[in-house]
Amino acid sequence: MANVSIREAVKIYQVSRPTLTKALKTGKVSGVQDGKGQWQIDPAELARVYQTRTDSAKTSGQDEPDHFTNKNTHLTGEVDILKARLAEAEQRAAVAEALSEERGKHIEDLRRMLPAPQEAQRPGWRWPWKR
């Protein structure tokens, strides 16, 4: 197999471009620079150090959104129902709050209408044996 460039190696093996460049400069992976300064690396050398990317990793990223949308489509109806229930509950809470405020004002009005309390006269202290 012919030598591969850094870009091709990144696509084939589980390694990032900066990591591969650093490995080439430190000698962890051997490679040859061509006249343009681009690295050419033997695939056997890359296989010695890095693992190849699996096809399932590439395709699973594409399949997951479809899988999730198919899996959760029946939940959208339930979400709509719950949103409607939430709106109804918020409306009931607002009505209850207004009713509570109205009743509080009514209680204050009734309290103002009441006559002021008079001081109650305390009966004199008597001993239990005196009548």
pLDDT digits (tens, 9 = 90+) for 31-73: 888 888 888 888 888 888 888 877 654 554 555 555 555 566 7
pLDDT digits (tens, 9 = 90+) for 68-120: 555 667 788 889 999 999 999 999 999 999 999 999 999 999 999 988 877 77
Q: What is the Cα–Cα distance from 60 to 84, expressed in whole angstroms?
A: 36
Q: Which of 48, 11, 7, 51 is nearest to 28 (CA)?
A: 48
Sign for the CA dihedral angle at 5, 9, 10, 11 comes to positive
Q: Which of 66, 84, 5, 68 is nearest to 40 (CA)?
A: 5
Return the number of other C-beta atoms located less than 10 Å from residue 10's C-beta: 19
Q: Is the pTM of this model over 0.85?
A: no
